[in-house]
Structure 1
Amino acid sequence: MLRLILIGLLLLVIFPVLASAAKVMSADNSHWSTARRDSTGIAPDPKTTPEAVVQVYAARAFNWRGIFGVHSWIAVKPEKAESFTRYEVEGWGVSSGRESVRIGSYRPPDAYWFGNYPELLVDIRGAEAAALIPQIAAAANSYPYRDRYTIWPGPNSNSFVAHVARNVPGLRLDLPPTAIGKDYRTDGIFGVAPSNTGLQLSLFGLAGVTLALEEGVEVNLLGLTVGIDILTPAIKLPGIGRIGFPQGPS
């Protein structure tokens, strides 16, 4: 039995992480100061898109951190607004007293994350988006860990986006399995999943289980996620992420 458990661990955790490491470390790892942070062209141009827009993105973290996880953020544009506003959490400056929550138009909504191309997870427009924007602002302002940032197991950028998603059911956000920190709950060890389509039990992001329509079945061990997505069929593995049908808006 022990041997079978060890083999299962190798197949489901260690091998996927090693495969992710080989891919990430073989990529071009420029210095953070010169890595791309310009627009990818995914987001619509506010000048030609008067309707309200809500989008959620995730991109591989910079350098070795990208082996394990992604950085996620939310971008919104109210109706007839001339620019997007980004909502995200960053660790830089927190140890010196700066708040972790960053809100503003300081970079493009769809920018490369230090050289890594983002994945669009949610794209909502029109009246539905307009109704969600004030809810997103309120949820962001209620985030309880503004004075803290911990890469693992959280609270971090993914903990923040998951917090907003739990408080804005209309997002129906299914964060990638590589969004380490998404299971670091801000409202106790048990409650709704980030997508609001099921339930989640999580012990400080270190161990837990999620059962939901959007997320499917996920098991979290030390921040690493193994699972099965039933609604959009896929296997979820640490490091690699999803293997199966693509995630995000069609």
Structure 2
Amino acid sequence: MKYLKRLLVVIFVIYLLPTFATAGWWAIQDRPARWSEARWSSAQILPQPGESEEAAIYVFSAATGGMKGAVASHAWIVTKDKGADSYTRYDKVGWGSPIRRNHRPADAFWYSNTPQLVAAITGVEAELLIPKVEGAIAAYPYAEPGGYTIFPGPNSNTFVAYVLRTVPEIGAVLPPHAVGRDYLPDGEFVHLDADGRDLHVTLRGLFGFSAGARSGIEVHFLGLVAGLDLANPGIKVPALGRIGL
């Protein structure tokens, strides 16, 4: 019983306390009440696609709408072929055909929230990786209508995390508040990334851990992530995100 109490205290301090604090702060902010009132235009983060001949890959994440935004974000992928004069954006959404292409500007606000640039690759490296990214998107196992579950997944973050695990050369993991990112397809319990540098062990994204060069050390509890970023020293805090040291 003593050890159970200690465990509950640890769970409360590490996972629930920052989540409740973030939710309280979020609740008092002035935010759009409805989808139609939110801002969805470009946040002017990316250069105009015609400004450079280089190929590019970008991964974005932004807080979602309503009270969900206190603890959860939405991720998407953007590509640009060499010499192209436009970007191609891929999202997974919860209505209609789940994988959407160019349904918003590449770097758009999401429910009025400014997107965070998670990864950026340009030049020859991006040119070589784009076919792999497109192959991973085409192979995503939950791309049909009905292939979306907001919690624990598969959701928008499950989709982007799948691509990042399949193409580890992108060298990124989604932030801790990307709830659903640790949901592994097809009931998989253990997954080793294609390059062998990150290991994921999870029960439907609810309980588990990740460890490796990109993930650092992470422990997942009910979709919330806490851990240490070793490659770029920092701590991963549930609901808040990564805090650099």
The bucket for the TM-score relative to the shorter chain is: over 0.9
The answer for the alignment partner of 1:171 in structure 2 is 170
Q: In the alignment, which residue of structure 2 is the partner of 1:130?
A: 127
Please give the alpha-carbon distance, in whole angstroms, between the structure 2 residues aligned to 1:239 and 1:226.
Answer: 9
Counterpart of 2:100, as a letter, is: R
Helix, strand or coil: the match of 2:79? strand
2:113 counterpart of 1:83: no
Unmatched tracts of structure 2, length 5 or more: none
Q: TM-score, normalised by structure 2?
A: 0.92
How far apart are the structure 1 equivalents of 2:209 and 2:50?
Answer: 43
Corresponding residue to 2:97 among 71, 96, 99: 99
Partners of 1:121 and 1:232 lie apart in 2 by 13
Matching of residue 121 in structure 1 with residue 118 in structure 2: yes
Partner Cα distance (1:149, 1:155) in 2: 5
Range 202-211 or range 153-162, more displaced: 202-211
Task: Find out whether 1:208 has 2:199 as its counterpart.
Answer: no
Alpha-carbon separation, structure 1, partners of 2:222 and 2:85: 42
Residue 181 (structure 2) pairs with residue 182 (structure 1): yes
Shift of 1:5: 2.1
Instruction: Say whether the 8 Å CA contact 2:173–2:214 is kept in structure 1.
Output: yes
Other-structure match for 1:28: 30
Match of 2:59 among 53, 56, 62: 56
Does the alignment pair 1:66 with 2:80? no
Q: List structure 1 runs of 4+ shifted beyond 3 angstroms.
A: 193-196
User: SS state of the match for residue 4, structure 1?
Assistant: helix
Q: Which residue of 2 aligns with 1:236?
A: 236
TM-score with structure 1 setting the length: 0.91
C-alpha distance in 2, partners of 1:26/1:131?
46
- Structure 1 contact 193–212 (Cα < 8 Å) conserved: no
SS of the equivalent of 1:33 reads: helix
Aligned in 2, Cα 1:177/1:193: closer, same or farther, shift over 3 Å? farther
Aligned CA-pair RMSD: 1.6
Aligned to 1:42: 45
Deviation at 1:174, TM superposition (A): 1.5
Shift of the alpha carbon at 1:196? Answer: 6.0
Q: Gapped runs of 5+ residues in structure 1?
A: 93-97, 246-250
Query: Which of 109, 113, 119 pairs up with 1:112?
Result: 109
Asked if structure 1 preserves the Cα contact closer than 8 Å seen for 2:200 and 2:211, the reply is yes
Number of paired residues? 239
Which whole-Å CA distance do the structure 2 matches of 1:244 and 1:11 have between them?
20
